[in-house]
Structure 1
Amino acid sequence: MDAGFKAELIEWGVDWDEILDRFMGNEDLIAKFMFKFLNDQSMSDLTKYLAEKNVSEAFKAVHTLKGVSANLGLKGFLTPVCELTEILRAGSMYGYEEKYDKIKPKYDELIAILTKYNV
Protein backbone atom coordinates (compact mmCIF):
# COMPACT_ATOMS: atom_id res chain seq x y z
CA MET A 1 0.00 0.00 0.00
CA ASP A 2 1.20 3.48 -0.84
CA ALA A 3 2.38 5.28 2.31
CA GLY A 4 0.70 8.52 1.22
CA PHE A 5 -2.60 6.72 0.72
CA LYS A 6 -2.37 5.15 4.17
CA ALA A 7 -1.48 8.51 5.76
CA GLU A 8 -4.42 10.27 4.07
CA LEU A 9 -6.84 7.57 5.15
CA ILE A 10 -5.66 7.83 8.74
CA GLU A 11 -5.82 11.63 8.64
CA TRP A 12 -9.36 11.42 7.22
CA GLY A 13 -10.42 9.24 10.13
CA VAL A 14 -9.87 5.59 9.28
CA ASP A 15 -9.22 3.57 12.43
CA TRP A 16 -6.05 1.98 11.11
CA ASP A 17 -5.40 -0.34 14.04
CA GLU A 18 -8.93 -1.72 13.85
CA ILE A 19 -8.91 -2.29 10.12
CA LEU A 20 -5.38 -3.69 10.11
CA ASP A 21 -6.51 -6.25 12.67
CA ARG A 22 -9.72 -7.00 10.73
CA PHE A 23 -7.72 -7.63 7.54
CA MET A 24 -5.06 -9.67 9.38
CA GLY A 25 -2.30 -7.16 8.68
CA ASN A 26 -2.76 -7.31 4.89
CA GLU A 27 -2.53 -3.69 3.71
CA ASP A 28 -3.02 -4.66 0.05
CA LEU A 29 -6.33 -6.27 0.98
CA ILE A 30 -7.29 -3.11 2.88
CA ALA A 31 -6.57 -1.05 -0.24
CA LYS A 32 -8.60 -3.44 -2.40
CA PHE A 33 -11.67 -3.11 -0.19
CA MET A 34 -11.25 0.65 0.21
CA PHE A 35 -11.29 1.03 -3.56
CA LYS A 36 -14.43 -1.13 -3.75
CA PHE A 37 -16.11 1.57 -1.64
CA LEU A 38 -15.99 3.77 -4.75
CA ASN A 39 -18.69 1.52 -6.26
CA ASP A 40 -20.93 1.54 -3.19
CA GLN A 41 -24.24 3.21 -4.01
CA SER A 42 -25.55 3.68 -0.48
CA MET A 43 -24.60 7.38 -0.23
CA SER A 44 -26.17 8.28 -3.57
CA ASP A 45 -29.26 6.27 -2.61
CA LEU A 46 -29.40 8.05 0.74
CA THR A 47 -29.18 11.44 -0.94
CA LYS A 48 -31.90 10.52 -3.43
CA TYR A 49 -34.32 9.11 -0.87
CA LEU A 50 -33.84 11.96 1.59
CA ALA A 51 -34.66 14.42 -1.19
CA GLU A 52 -37.78 12.39 -1.96
CA LYS A 53 -38.67 12.26 1.78
CA ASN A 54 -38.78 8.46 1.47
CA VAL A 55 -37.92 7.50 5.05
CA SER A 56 -37.98 3.72 4.64
CA GLU A 57 -35.67 3.68 1.60
CA ALA A 58 -33.41 6.34 3.15
CA PHE A 59 -33.15 4.14 6.23
CA LYS A 60 -32.11 1.13 4.13
CA ALA A 61 -29.46 3.23 2.40
CA VAL A 62 -28.01 4.75 5.57
CA HIS A 63 -28.08 1.39 7.33
CA THR A 64 -26.03 -0.08 4.47
CA LEU A 65 -23.64 2.88 4.65
CA LYS A 66 -23.31 2.32 8.39
CA GLY A 67 -22.41 -1.34 7.94
CA VAL A 68 -19.87 -0.72 5.20
CA SER A 69 -18.36 2.16 7.15
CA ALA A 70 -18.03 0.10 10.31
CA ASN A 71 -16.44 -2.79 8.43
CA LEU A 72 -13.89 -0.48 6.79
CA GLY A 73 -13.09 1.44 9.95
CA LEU A 74 -14.42 4.69 8.47
CA LYS A 75 -14.68 6.48 11.80
CA GLY A 76 -14.35 9.87 10.06
CA PHE A 77 -18.12 9.98 9.64
CA LEU A 78 -19.43 6.93 11.46
CA THR A 79 -20.95 8.85 14.39
CA PRO A 80 -23.29 11.03 12.30
CA VAL A 81 -24.08 8.02 10.08
CA CYS A 82 -25.16 6.09 13.18
CA GLU A 83 -27.17 9.05 14.45
CA LEU A 84 -28.94 9.45 11.11
CA THR A 85 -29.64 5.72 11.06
CA GLU A 86 -31.47 6.02 14.38
CA ILE A 87 -33.48 9.07 13.26
CA LEU A 88 -34.66 7.23 10.16
CA ARG A 89 -35.15 3.92 12.01
CA ALA A 90 -37.72 5.76 14.16
CA GLY A 91 -39.58 6.70 10.97
CA SER A 92 -38.70 10.36 11.37
CA MET A 93 -36.82 12.89 9.33
CA TYR A 94 -36.61 15.40 12.17
CA GLY A 95 -33.05 16.69 12.38
CA TYR A 96 -31.74 14.65 9.46
CA GLU A 97 -30.29 17.72 7.72
CA GLU A 98 -27.75 18.38 10.47
CA LYS A 99 -26.50 14.79 10.36
CA TYR A 100 -26.47 14.63 6.57
CA ASP A 101 -24.57 17.92 6.42
CA LYS A 102 -21.84 16.33 8.56
CA ILE A 103 -21.75 13.12 6.52
CA LYS A 104 -21.70 14.48 2.96
CA PRO A 105 -18.50 16.60 3.09
CA LYS A 106 -16.60 13.81 4.87
CA TYR A 107 -17.89 11.33 2.30
CA ASP A 108 -16.75 13.59 -0.53
CA GLU A 109 -13.30 13.92 1.07
CA LEU A 110 -12.99 10.15 1.31
CA ILE A 111 -14.07 9.65 -2.30
CA ALA A 112 -11.48 12.21 -3.40
CA ILE A 113 -8.74 10.32 -1.51
CA LEU A 114 -9.82 6.98 -2.95
CA THR A 115 -10.07 8.38 -6.46
CA LYS A 116 -6.62 9.96 -6.19
CA TYR A 117 -4.95 6.64 -5.39
CA ASN A 118 -7.12 4.32 -7.48
CA VAL A 119 -4.79 3.94 -10.47
Structure 2
Amino acid sequence: MDAAFKEELIEWGVDWEDVHNRFMGNEDLIAKFMLRFLGDPSMTSLSKYLGEENVSEAFKAVHALKGVSANLGLKGFYSQVYDLTEILRAGTMDGYEPYYDHIKLKYDDLISILRKYQSSAS
Protein backbone atom coordinates (compact mmCIF):
# COMPACT_ATOMS: atom_id res chain seq x y z
CA MET A 1 0.00 0.00 0.00
CA ASP A 2 1.19 3.44 -0.91
CA ALA A 3 2.21 5.40 2.22
CA ALA A 4 0.34 8.51 1.06
CA PHE A 5 -2.82 6.44 0.47
CA LYS A 6 -2.57 5.02 3.98
CA GLU A 7 -2.05 8.49 5.45
CA GLU A 8 -5.05 9.95 3.62
CA LEU A 9 -7.25 7.09 4.80
CA ILE A 10 -6.15 7.67 8.39
CA GLU A 11 -6.71 11.43 8.08
CA TRP A 12 -10.18 10.74 6.66
CA GLY A 13 -11.02 8.67 9.71
CA VAL A 14 -10.10 5.06 9.00
CA ASP A 15 -9.34 3.25 12.25
CA TRP A 16 -6.01 1.94 11.02
CA GLU A 17 -5.28 -0.24 14.02
CA ASP A 18 -8.66 -1.96 13.69
CA VAL A 19 -8.46 -2.54 9.94
CA HIS A 20 -4.78 -3.52 10.15
CA ASN A 21 -5.63 -6.17 12.74
CA ARG A 22 -8.71 -7.33 10.82
CA PHE A 23 -6.59 -7.92 7.69
CA MET A 24 -3.72 -9.48 9.69
CA GLY A 25 -1.33 -6.68 8.75
CA ASN A 26 -1.63 -7.26 5.00
CA GLU A 27 -1.68 -3.69 3.67
CA ASP A 28 -2.06 -4.80 0.05
CA LEU A 29 -5.23 -6.63 1.05
CA ILE A 30 -6.44 -3.54 2.92
CA ALA A 31 -5.89 -1.45 -0.21
CA LYS A 32 -7.71 -4.03 -2.34
CA PHE A 33 -10.79 -4.05 -0.11
CA MET A 34 -10.78 -0.27 0.34
CA LEU A 35 -10.82 0.11 -3.44
CA ARG A 36 -13.65 -2.42 -3.71
CA PHE A 37 -15.70 0.06 -1.71
CA LEU A 38 -15.87 2.13 -4.90
CA GLY A 39 -18.29 -0.47 -6.28
CA ASP A 40 -20.42 -0.78 -3.17
CA PRO A 41 -24.00 0.27 -4.01
CA SER A 42 -25.12 1.02 -0.43
CA MET A 43 -24.74 4.80 -0.51
CA THR A 44 -26.36 5.17 -3.91
CA SER A 45 -29.26 3.02 -2.74
CA LEU A 46 -29.54 4.95 0.52
CA SER A 47 -29.74 8.27 -1.32
CA LYS A 48 -32.30 6.91 -3.77
CA TYR A 49 -34.59 5.43 -1.15
CA LEU A 50 -34.40 8.42 1.17
CA GLY A 51 -35.38 10.59 -1.79
CA GLU A 52 -38.33 8.30 -2.42
CA GLU A 53 -39.18 8.28 1.31
CA ASN A 54 -38.99 4.49 1.23
CA VAL A 55 -38.01 3.84 4.84
CA SER A 56 -37.73 0.04 4.64
CA GLU A 57 -35.42 0.05 1.60
CA ALA A 58 -33.41 2.98 2.99
CA PHE A 59 -32.97 0.97 6.18
CA LYS A 60 -31.64 -2.02 4.22
CA ALA A 61 -29.17 0.23 2.39
CA VAL A 62 -27.89 2.01 5.49
CA HIS A 63 -27.66 -1.29 7.37
CA ALA A 64 -25.45 -2.66 4.56
CA LEU A 65 -23.36 0.52 4.67
CA LYS A 66 -23.00 0.08 8.43
CA GLY A 67 -21.62 -3.44 7.94
CA VAL A 68 -19.13 -2.39 5.28
CA SER A 69 -18.11 0.60 7.42
CA ALA A 70 -17.42 -1.62 10.40
CA ASN A 71 -15.46 -4.15 8.37
CA LEU A 72 -13.26 -1.49 6.76
CA GLY A 73 -12.78 0.59 9.92
CA LEU A 74 -14.53 3.59 8.36
CA LYS A 75 -14.85 5.48 11.64
CA GLY A 76 -15.00 8.80 9.77
CA PHE A 77 -18.76 8.33 9.42
CA TYR A 78 -19.57 5.15 11.31
CA SER A 79 -21.33 6.80 14.25
CA GLN A 80 -23.63 8.77 11.93
CA VAL A 81 -24.31 5.64 9.86
CA TYR A 82 -25.16 3.81 13.07
CA ASP A 83 -27.48 6.59 14.24
CA LEU A 84 -29.22 6.79 10.87
CA THR A 85 -29.66 3.01 10.93
CA GLU A 86 -31.45 3.28 14.26
CA ILE A 87 -33.72 6.10 13.04
CA LEU A 88 -34.76 4.10 10.00
CA ARG A 89 -35.03 0.86 12.00
CA ALA A 90 -37.75 2.61 14.00
CA GLY A 91 -39.69 3.03 10.76
CA THR A 92 -39.37 6.79 10.55
CA MET A 93 -37.37 9.39 8.69
CA ASP A 94 -37.79 12.02 11.41
CA GLY A 95 -34.52 13.84 11.98
CA TYR A 96 -32.49 11.86 9.44
CA GLU A 97 -31.16 14.88 7.52
CA PRO A 98 -28.14 15.91 9.63
CA TYR A 99 -26.94 12.31 9.80
CA TYR A 100 -27.36 11.77 6.08
CA ASP A 101 -25.72 15.11 5.25
CA HIS A 102 -22.65 14.21 7.31
CA ILE A 103 -22.49 10.71 5.84
CA LYS A 104 -22.78 12.02 2.28
CA LEU A 105 -20.03 14.61 2.78
CA LYS A 106 -17.65 12.08 4.32
CA TYR A 107 -18.58 9.47 1.71
CA ASP A 108 -17.78 11.87 -1.12
CA ASP A 109 -14.44 12.70 0.50
CA LEU A 110 -13.60 9.01 0.85
CA ILE A 111 -14.57 8.25 -2.74
CA SER A 112 -12.26 11.05 -3.91
CA ILE A 113 -9.38 9.54 -1.96
CA LEU A 114 -10.07 6.05 -3.31
CA ARG A 115 -10.30 7.24 -6.91
CA LYS A 116 -7.03 9.10 -6.52
CA TYR A 117 -5.22 5.87 -5.67
CA GLN A 118 -7.29 3.48 -7.78
CA SER A 119 -4.98 3.32 -10.79
CA SER A 120 -1.76 3.04 -8.78
CA ALA A 121 -3.11 0.08 -6.80
CA SER A 122 -4.24 -1.91 -9.83
TM-score after normalising by structure 2: 0.97
What are the superposed Cα offsets for residues 14-67 of structure 1, whole Å, 9 maximum, x if unpaired? 000000000000000000000000000000000000000000000000000000
Alpha-carbon distance in structure 2 between the residues aligned to 1:97 and 1:56: 16
- Report what 1:19 is aligned to: 19
> Match for 2:37: what amino acid?
F
- Report what 1:98 is aligned to: 98
Alpha-carbon distance in structure 2 between the residues aligned to 1:17 and 1:59: 29
Alpha-carbon distance in structure 2 between the residues aligned to 1:48 and 1:104: 12
- Report what 1:55 is aligned to: 55
Alpha-carbon distance in structure 2 between the residues aligned to 1:39 and 1:98: 25
Identity of counterpart residues, as a percentage? 72
- Report what 2:76 is aligned to: 76
Structure 1, gaps ≥5 residues long:
none
* 2:9 counterpart SS class: helix
Alpha-carbon distance in structure 2 between the residues aligned to 1:99 and 1:105: 10
Alpha-carbon distance in structure 1 between the residues aligned to 2:42 and 2:83: 16
What are the superposed Cα offsets for residues 64-119 of structure 1, whole Å, 9 maximum, x if unpaired? 00000000000000000000000000001000111101100000000000000000
CA RMSD of aligned residues (A): 0.3
TM-score after normalising by structure 1: 1.00
